[in-house]
Chain A
Amino acid sequence: MKQISVLDRILLLITGLLAAYQISFGLNDLNTLSTWSYTVGFGVLLVAGLLLIILGFEGLENQIVVIVSTLIPLSISLGLVAEHLPQFTTPYLIFAILGFAAIAITRYTAEGKTATIILALTHGIAGSLITFLPIILSIQGKVSGGYFLVGIAGALIGVGGLLLAFLKAGKPILSQKMILTVLPALLLLMTSAFVYGFSFR
Chain B
Amino acid sequence: MEKQKRLFKHIKSKYFPLVKSLQTALLLITGIAGYMSARCPVHNIPTVLGLTGSLLLSISGSTVLNMWYDRDIDAIMPRTSKRPLSTGQTQPKEALIFGLVLSVIGIAWALLLDPLYGVIIFAGLFFDVVVYTIWLKRRTAWSIIWGGISGGMPVLAGRVLGTGQIDWVGITLAMGVLFWIPTHILTFSMRYHDDYQKAKVPTFPSTYSFQTTRLIIAVSSVLATLAFGAASYGVGLTWGFLRLLIVLSAGLFVLAVQSLRSPSERITFGLFKYASLYMLSAMLLMFFTGV
Interface set of A (CB-CB < 8 Å, partner B): 20, 23-25, 27-28, 35, 39, 42-43, 46-47, 50-51, 54-55, 58-59, 62, 64, 68
Contact = CB atoms under 8 A, between A and B. Distances in A.
Interface stretch (B69-77, B139-147, B152-160, B239-247): B239-247
B250 interface: yes
Interface of B is mostly: helix
Contact of A54 (B238, B240, B254, B270): B270
Contacts of A43: 243, 246-247, 250-251
Contacts of A35: 243
Interface of B: 238, 240-241, 243-244, 246-248, 250-251, 254-255, 258, 262, 266-267, 270, 273-274, 277
Contact of A23 (B240, B255, B266): B240
B251 A23 contact: no
B200 to A, nearest CB: 32
Given A51-B274, A64-B258, A24 B244 contact: yes
A46 B245 CA distance: 11
Nearest to B271: A54
B243 A39 contact: yes
Given A47-B251, A50-B251, A54-B270, A20 B244 contact: yes
Given A23-B243, A24-B244, A39-B243, 18 more contacts: A23-B244, A24-B240, A25-B240, A35-B243, A39-B246, A39-B247, A43-B243, A43-B251, A47-B248, A50-B251, A50-B277, A51-B251, A51-B274, A55-B266, A55-B267, A55-B270, A59-B270, A64-B254
Contacts of B273: 54
